Amino acid sequence: MKVVVCVKQIPDPAIPGELVPETGTLNRDDKLILDESDSYGVEMALQLAEAAGGGQVSLVSMAPRSETSGLRTALAMGADDAVLISDDALAGSDALGTAKVLGAAISELEADLVLAGVESSDGYTGTVPEMIAGVMGLPSITFAKQIEISDGVASVQRQTEAGYDQVECALPAVVSVTAGVVEPRYPSFKGIMAAKKKPVDSKDLAALGIDAAAVGVAGARQETVEVTDAPEREAGEIITDEGDAHANIVEFLTELKVI
Amino acid sequence: MTLAQILLFAEGDADGPSGLTLELATKARTLADTVTAFAPAHGEAMAAELGAHGVSTVYALEGLGDGLAGVHAAAALAGHIDATSPDAVFFGQTTDGRDTAARLAVLADRPVSTNNVGAEVVDGGIVTEEPIFGGTQNIFTAYRAPAPALAMFRPKSFEAEPSGGGAAAVESVAAVDPGEAGRAAVTGRHAGERSGPQLDDAAGVVSGGRGLGQPEAYSMVDELAGLLGAASGASRAIVDAGWVPYAKQVGQTGKVVKPNVYIACGISGATQHLVGMKGSKNIVAINKDPEAPIFGVADLGIVGDVHKVMPALIEALKSR
């Protein structure tokens, strides 16, 4: 079985983000790391390949400056190889532009199953996996909280507003997985060393036959007109508990006539 | 200045439209002369309430059956928007809303504006408002692709208010075969148990986080919520850890709540969480770390151990 996993390399969420003033898009100039949301997709792919008695797990990522830090993390977890699409014309791409690029790259890999996180931790549009399926003409099951593969059919528990739906689909298909669906493994020292030698196939837009006008800021066809500071909520009273702080809460709730 | 027509992606069940759908209907009628709706299912059941919120016509998709809403709704919507030329299509930021908007974006080759909390009409086009960086800033974006603009909105961005209109007319829309892309099928639907106040509309919410230490301690959250007639919620950390189901998650990727009182127990206040609750009218936080970001939004902050403060609070409420 061949599983392709989409992974995004994002600015470290621990460092406050900033916008590129000209475009209103996220500044990605610093080092990028593997989006934690995608570590679940990588782990799921590894587990499904193992359950199938072996298989290939390939990564696909689109990132500026041929960034591979995040890819190496996923390779160290156990993925076999990676395709990296990097091109200056991709800066400022929106979800649809990203899906066109990833879809084109994945189409060359003949995957049985395409996995992705439900949404990235920086843009969190939650639309790219479904768009990739659209671009590739594949069926998709989003918001998966459990996946089993048997006889070429994926059985998925798909999270819904009310609970979950059991969904079945013959492969190939695109499936997006929710955070927490599996416990991502930590790369071992051996894995980290091995990852350095694993193949990363770098491509630009021309190699995928995509017109630069369809992607990037121009392709996104949206214009940032204003960025404002949200009104800050005023901090209230802070009390250190000396054994009776619960009384302050009771008083507060009484004033609000909640009790 | 208003638009001529906004089309709403209407979601609901046999009991009627979802709260989010009515919120969007209410907002849409302030932006457009005509509001219509496209329902992937339950079109007939939603017509009365949608009409009462300003929708003139519900286009009801026929024959969704066991197919997933997204791919089938998008296939039919692509033709529907060509035939009816709405200026914008509004979606709720739900599972099916995201799927449908994403598929339609590919079919119609248009961007989707996501995670919005506001919209206005400027120079005849839609400008959407999206909170970024944990809600500390808002970005306003003008849609520059051809109409219709595709825009998705977060729950609780607008208040639903009836317009006093009669039931909406219902027109059937024939299914369009999406081909191989449509072959995923639902073989069973499972609804979680719904007892007590629901997160969406409770006047009070008590939420627990990693500071509870272990899954068993979540029972304190349930007990406190019960005593206050509140709903119980959770941070993403303990949902990911499997302590409580996703339905309880409050935050960017969970539910957005705006109750009268929100009590955060052992929640540090990652932006992921703050986005989902900082619109609450009154916020109480209990956390042992005085530097926890949750104290930045709390009206009453208790720096202390949840394992001491919560039992004492529960006892005090019981003895009243």
Q: Quick one: average pLDDT of B42-46?
A: 97
Confidence of residue A162 (pLDDT cuts 50, 70, 90): confident
Question: What pLDDT score does A13 carry?
Answer: 86
**Closest Cα in chain A to B238:** A180
pLDDT digits (tens, 9 = 90+) for A150-160: 999 999 999 98
Please tell me the distance from the alpha carbon of residue B88 to that of residue A180, in angstroms, as a whole number.
35
Please tell me the distance from the alpha carbon of residue A147 to that of residue B292, in angstroms, as a whole number.
36
Chain B CB within 8 Å of residue A197 CB: no
Nearest-neighbour CA in chain A from B233: distance (Å): 15
Nearest-neighbour CA in chain B from A30: distance (Å): 17
Contacts of A134 (CB under 8 A, 6+ apart): A99, B74, B102, B103, B105, B106, B107, B181
Checking if the pLDDT of A51 tops 90, the result is: yes
Range of lowest pLDDT (A157-161, A220-224, B25-29, B221-225): A157-161
What does the angle CA B270 – CA B272 – CA B273 come to, to the nearest 5 degrees?
Answer: 70
> Position of tokens 């960025």?
A227
Name the helix (H) or strand (E) containing B58. Answer: strand B55-61
Q: What is the ipTM of this complex?
A: 0.94
Greatest CA separation for chain B: 65
With an 8 Å Cβ cutoff, are B239 and A168 in contact? no
Please tell me the distance from the alpha carbon of residue A247 to that of residue B198, in angstroms, as a whole number.
27
Site from A246, A248, A257 to mutate, B interface, most B CB atoms within 10 angstroms: A246
Chain A partners within 8 Å of B108 (Cβ): none
Beta strands (DSSP E) in A7-151 are 9-11, 19-20, 25-26, 32-34, 56-62, 81-85, 113-117, 140-150
Cβ-in-10-Å burial (0-12, 13-18, 19+) of B308 comes to middle
Please tell me the distance from the alpha carbon of residue A59 to that of residue A83, in angstroms, as a whole number.
6
Instruction: Find the radius of gyration of the CA atoms of chain A.
Output: 22
Q: Quick one: average pLDDT of B1-24?
A: 96
Domains and CATH numbers, chain A: 2-220 (3.40.50.620)
Site from A124, A249, A257, A259 to mutate, B interface, most B CB atoms within 10 angstroms: A249
The distance of Cα B232 from the centroid of its chain, to the nearest Å, equals 17
Structural tokens at position B7: 């089309």
β-sheet bridge partners, residue A201? A83
Q: Write the residue in A19, A166, A179 that is nearest to B187 by C-beta.
A: A166
Contacts of B15 (CB under 8 A, 6+ apart): B45
Question: What pLDDT score does A80 carry?
Answer: 98
**Residues recorded for chain B:** 320
Collapsed DSSP state (helix, strand, coil) of residue B97:
helix
With an 8 Å Cβ cutoff, are A259 and B303 in contact? no
pLDDT digits (tens, 9 = 90+) for A3-30: 999 999 999 988 888 898 888 889 998 8
What does the angle CA A238 – CA A240 – CA A243 come to, to the nearest 5 degrees?
Answer: 135
Checking if the pLDDT of B196 tops 80, the result is: no
Structural tokens at position B105: 């974006």
Checking if the pLDDT of B25 tops 90, the result is: yes
Residue A113 contacts residue A3 (beta carbons within 8 Å):
yes
Question: What pLDDT score does B27 carry?
Answer: 98
Nearest CA-CA partner of B12 in B224, B135, B134, B160: B160
Nearest-neighbour CA in chain A from B208: distance (Å): 16
Chain B CB within 8 Å of residue A218 CB: no
Q: Write the residue in A165, A180, A233 that is nearest to B240 by C-beta.
A: A180
pLDDT digits (tens, 9 = 90+) for B66-104: 999 999 999 999 999 999 999 999 999 999 999 999 999
Give the count of beta carbons closer than 10 Å to the beta carbon of residue A186. Answer: 11
Domains and CATH numbers, chain B: 3-182 (3.40.50.620), 204-318 (3.40.50.1220)
Residue B140 contacts residue B2 (beta carbons within 8 Å):
no
With an 8 Å Cβ cutoff, are B302 and A163 in contact? no
Chain A CB within 8 Å of residue B56 CB: no
Please tell me the distance from the alpha carbon of residue B46 to that of residue B73, in angstroms, as a whole number.
17
DSSP A235: P
Chain B CB within 8 Å of residue A151 CB: no
End-to-end CA distance of chain A: 59
